[in-house]
Amino acid sequence: MNSRTVTDIRYLNIYFQVHQPRRLGQFSFFDIGTHRDYFDDGMNQIIMRRVARDCYLPANELLLKLISQYPNIRITFSISGVALKQMEHFAPAVIESFRKLAATGSVSFLAETYYHSLACLMSPEEFAVQVKMHQEKVYQLFGIYPTVFRNTELIYSDDIGRQVRDLEFDCIFADGVDSVLAGRSPHHLYEHVDRNGLMIFFRNYRLSDDIAFRFMQKDWKSWPLTPRKYVQWLDTMPRNENLVTLSMDYETFGEHQKRQDGIFKFMEGFISLLATSRKYEMVTPAEAINLMSPVDIVTSRKPISWADQEHDLSAWLGNDMQRDAFETLKKLEAGVQKTNDHNLIAAWRYLQTSDHLYYMSTKAGDDGNVHNYFSPYASPYEAFMNFMNVMSDLSLRVDTGDLSRTIKAHHGKLKLKGAVL
Amino acid sequence: MEAKRVSGKTLVVHVHATEFDRGGDHINSEIFDIERKGMDAADRVIAVSRLTRDIIVSRYQIEESKVEVVHNGVMVKQVRAKDMLPSVGGPVVTFLGRITHQKGPVYFIDAAQKVLQKFPQVHFVMAGSGDLLPAMIEHAAELKLSSHIHFTGFLNSAKVDQVWAISNVYVMPSVSEPFGLTPLEAMMAGVPVIISKQSGVSEVVNHAIKVDFWDTEALASAICDLLTYNSLKNTIKKESGEECKRITWDRAAKKINTIYHELTNSD
């Protein structure tokens, strides 16, 4: 049989998240009111360059090679504005290699909040501003204006869906959380509960986490994971389930999982298998919504996300400290905006990056270990104290009208130290 | 050692403190020699923390493979509510322990000075006695802080409970602390704790603020943060109250039991 019908084909929607927060420097209680810099861009530079060397550059190069071999490959990226800005300053070669990927026509880019923030929970106005900023940044760098949305860490609810629809997006990513799918398969296209034309892609989190987390776990029953084994799992899905969404941190390749553990070989093998298979076709989200219709509507009154076992907001707002920090950010909105001071507003937005709240989590167990892995602090208490001291400084500035004479909200030019990369 | 020689039985030495903890760099070499001979002769040395094990290995040159770590535990107890509480009219930050070089009392006073510049209404309690008590009283007077630093002398356990009941923060700035049980008692009494990283207890406690003993600015900053941000205080209280219940003597006893079994079975 040479001719294949649509039902024979299973579509694969693969998206990688690229993000680096702008980490804070040490800020003690006694620094409040002293006009010290908030951000440790020396550390941010070191980390960005390390991840560029170990992950972004080699992974992009591998994808470029594969795409030149198989032009039918489709990969989607979401790169936070905070990461893009740091790449421009600290690792411009990464921007260049993403440009090359964009030029192949095989790669698409998603929109998100520029600051990788929880602005969706702050105010619709602030959310809209950050999304627009991100769209423009992606267009400026890659010449592609993103029209598909993914929210920070796939945070989604009916209400967030409405905000996103109001910004004229026609699709969004969400995590395939069991409680929301309520027994239905994540392998279809769904629509917002209002039937407002917002299509939803549900990530298969088990299959995604097999690569993102379990790949290197030697005590996992499926270790070692090979591309063939993985594709066999896809093969065994019911035939009518025709859209599989896989997504994970791009840093999975070479940063979270190391080259010597074979993660690049896996990626190469997996994508090559898909590209040469008659059963699978890789698609961008925009292609997918042209190819299929939603099978049902879904509702999620409470926000869901791809973080932690709870798949809710508890990774960022799970304890009193996190909620206090977020409320403090929120309360500052009107005051900060009123100053009309660009640097001050930018600093406040950099502080909204969800990672700052993520570091304050007091969860134990496996989730706690993941929080610790990402955190530059020794404990959630240090993360909170440091953040709140900065916030206190910022609100003092807002209150006293002591604006940005010395605040460095945007990256200054840093001297390049030869030994870093 | 004599018993081991006569009976040929296995010797296990438990180390709860070393001369280096007590004396810093000014150690008494006779005591050092006795400690070292004891550990040399032992078939197994059980240290109360990794900090102590590191001292045993690096300073006493004991073979690393025979030194095991068994952390202390804490007895679960209810701190009785006090009806007659002394009132000082402001938040209370407490130091409770022997006032000796090892416990780092001078760092507590230096941090107090910094905190008082921001919060003049805070009071500091130094509970305990020791050879540095007179020097500390003088130091506080010199800094003109005597009206805000209160020296109580040695306290019995009922008085200690009273101190917990009025404390907003407990600080243990020890220079070298093999373990340090007092922070666990404070946690059990619902008092948020700040401990030095140079303490054995910091190896088993997650829900405390940890600073280097010499970093009085970080210590003072943490005290100010605890007094400023209620959510910080509340989260630490809640989490540490749970955590200290898991650090039990039972756990320590089980581990020691296992070590004893290994030793006697391999004979």
Q: Which pLDDT value is given to residue A419?
A: 28
Task: Identify the closest residue of chain B to A327 by CA–CA distance.
Answer: B231
- At B191, list the tokens: 């008092």
Report mean pLDDT in 10-residue bins for chain B, 267 residues: 82 89 83 91 90 91 90 76 67 96 96 97 96 96 95 92 94 94 94 96 96 97 98 96 89 89 77
Closest to A30 (Cβ–Cβ): which among B221, B232, B235?
B221
Alpha helix (H) residue ranges in chain B: 2-7, 19-23, 29-41, 50-59, 105-118, 133-142, 157-166, 182-188, 216-228, 230-246, 249-266
**What is the Cα–Cα distance from A387 to A201, expressed in whole angstroms?**
34
With beta carbons less than 8 A apart as the criterion, state whether B49 and B69 touch. Answer: yes
Closest chain A C-alpha to B116 CA, distance in angstroms: 12
Q: What is the pLDDT of residue A2?
A: 43
Q: How far is B189 from chain A (nearest CA, A)?
A: 20
Question: What is the structure's pLDDT at B125?
Answer: 96
pLDDT at A103 over 50: yes
A321 in B contact zone (CB under 8 Å): yes
* CB of A82 closer than 8 Å to CB of A353: yes
Name which CATH class applies to B92-246.
alpha beta
Tokens of B60: 């006493």
Question: CB of A379 within 8 Å of any CB in chain B?
Answer: yes
A136 is catalytic: no
Is the pLDDT reported for residue A6 higher than 60? no
What is the CATH T-level fold of the domain B2-73+248-266, as seen in this structure? Answer: Rossmann fold (3.40.50)
The CA-CA-CA angle for residues B45, B53, B2, to 5°, reads 25
Answer whether A112's CB lies under 8 Å from A80's CB: yes
* pLDDT at res. B86: 67
Distance set, CA A49 to CA A21, A64, A123, B201 (Å)? 13, 20, 34, 37
Q: Are B57 and B67 in contact (CB under 8 A)?
A: yes
**Mutation test of the interface with chain B: which of A29, A320, A379, A390, choosing the one with the most B Cβ atoms within 10 A?**
A29
**A314 interfacial to chain B (CB closer than 8 Å):** no
**What phi, psi does B16 have (nearest 5°)?**
-105, -10
Chosen from A317, A363, A381 to mutate, greatest number of chain B CBs within 10 A:
A381
Task: Kindly compute the dihedral angle of the four CA atoms of residues A91, A97, A101, A104, in this order, to the nearest 10 degrees.
Answer: 150
Q: Among A29, A324, A389, whose Cβ lies nearest the Cβ of B231?
A: A324
pLDDT of residue B267: 52
What is the rounded CA–CA span in Å between residue B128 and residue A163? 61
DSSP string, A169-234: --EEEEE--HHHHTT--SSSEEEETT-SS-EEEEE-HHHHHHHHTGGG-TTSTTPSP-HHHHHHHH
Nearest chain A Cα distance for residue B91, angstroms: 17
**A346, A410 contact by CB (below 8 A):** yes
Q: Does A384 reach chain B within 8 Å, measured CB to CB? A: yes
Q: What mean pLDDT, rounded, does chain A reach?
A: 92
**Nearest to residue A315, comparing CAs of A103, A136, A154, A125?**
A154
User: What would the pLDDT profile of A247-265 be if each residue is shown by its tens digit?
Assistant: 999 999 999 999 999 999 9
- Chain A nearest CA to B204, separation (Å): 13
Of A112, A126, A153, A251, the catalytic one is A153
Both tokens assigned to B59: 């300073």
A253 secondary structure, DSSP code: B
Higher-scoring residue by pLDDT: B73, A324: A324
pLDDT of amino acid B75: 76
Contact call for B234 and A320, based on CB within 8 A:
yes
User: Residue with structure tokens 């579509």?
Assistant: A11
C-alpha–C-alpha distance, residues B198 and B88, integer Å? 31
CB contact under 8 A, A385 and B229: yes
Q: Which of A398, A328, A336, A392 is nearest to A357 (CA)?
A: A328
The stretch A341-348 carries a mean pLDDT of: 93
Contact residues on chain B for A388, CB-CB shorter than 8 A: 225, 228-229, 232
pLDDT at position A417: 32
CB atoms under 10 Å from CB of A354, counted, come to: 26
pLDDT tens per residue across span A293-314? 999 999 999 999 999 999 999 9
Cβ distance B235 to A321 less than 8 Å, yes or no, reads yes
Cβ contacts of residue A42 below 8 Å, gap of 6+? A414
Chain B residues with CB under 8 Å of A30 CB are 114, 118, 217, 220-221, 224
Chain B interface includes A385 (CB < 8 A) = yes
**A385 and B114: CB-CB below 8 Å?**
no
DSSP state of B145: -
Amino acid at B166: I
A112 and A78 Cβ atoms separated by less than 8 Å: yes
Which residues of chain B have a CB within 8 Å of the CB of A379?
A: 206, 209-210
CA distance B65 to chain A (A): 27
* 8 A C-beta contact, residue A362 and residue B207: yes
A29–chain B nearest CA distance, Å = 5
Q: Do A333 and A395 form a contact (C-beta atoms < 8 A)?
A: no
* Contact state of A384 with B114 under an 8 Å Cβ cutoff: no
Instruction: Please tell me the distance in Å from B107's CA to the nearest CA on chain A.
Output: 17
> Average of pLDDT values for A152-177?
97
**Mean pLDDT across the stretch A66-77?**
98
Q: CB of A327 within 8 Å of any CB in chain B?
A: no
Contact list, A380 vs chain B (CB under 8 Å)? 235
Interchain proximity B229–A384, CB inside 8 Å = yes
Predicted confidence (pLDDT) per residue in B127-186, tens digit: 999 999 999 999 999 999 999 999 999 999 889 999 999 999 999 999 999 999 999 999
Residue A420 has pLDDT above 90, yes or no: no
**How many angstroms separate the CA of residue A324 from the nearest CA in chain B?**
7
* Residues belonging to chain B with any Cβ–Cβ distance to chain A shorter than 8 Å: 114, 118, 206-210, 217-218, 220-222, 224-225, 228-232, 234-236, 238-239
> What mean pLDDT comes out for the span A25-29?
96
Same-fold call for B2-73+248-266 versus B92-246: yes
Mark yes or no for CB contact B118/A382 under 8 Å: no
Which pLDDT belongs to residue A414? 40
Contact at CB, A30 and B229, closer than 8 angstroms: no
Helix A342-350 to helix A320-339 angle (10° resolution) is 160
Q: How many CB pairs under 8 A join A and B?
A: 64
Considering only CB atoms, which chain B residues are within 8 Å of A327? none
CB within 8 Å: B209 and A30: no
Domain ranges of chain B: 2-73+248-266, 92-246
Distances (CA, A) of B257 to A145, B74, B178: 66, 18, 21
Closest partner residue to A385 (CB to CB) among B114, B225, B230 is B225
Nearest CA in chain B to A390: B225
Contacts of A323 in chain B (CB under 8 A): 231
CB contact under 8 A, A379 and B236: no
pTM of structure: 0.92
> Could you tell me which residues are beta bridge partners of residue B14?
B46
Which residue is associated with the tokens 């090979």?
A226
With CA atoms as reference, report the closest residue to A355 among A330, A320, A325, A398. A325
Question: From CA B53, how far away is CA B46, in angstroms rounded?
Answer: 8
In the numeric block, which tokens belong to residue B57?
Answer: 């290995």
- From chain B, pick out residues whose CB is under 8 angstroms from the CB of A392: 228
C-alpha to C-alpha distances, A295 to A14, A192, A240, A284, nearest whole angstrom: 20, 11, 11, 19
Give A181-196 pLDDT, tens digit per residue. Answer: 999 999 999 999 999 9
The C-alpha atoms of residue A108 and residue A148 are separated, in whole angstroms, by: 9
Cβ neighbours of residue B138 under 8 Å, at least 6 residues apart? none
Identity of the residue in A30, A323, A381 whose CB atom sits nearest the CB atom of B232: A381
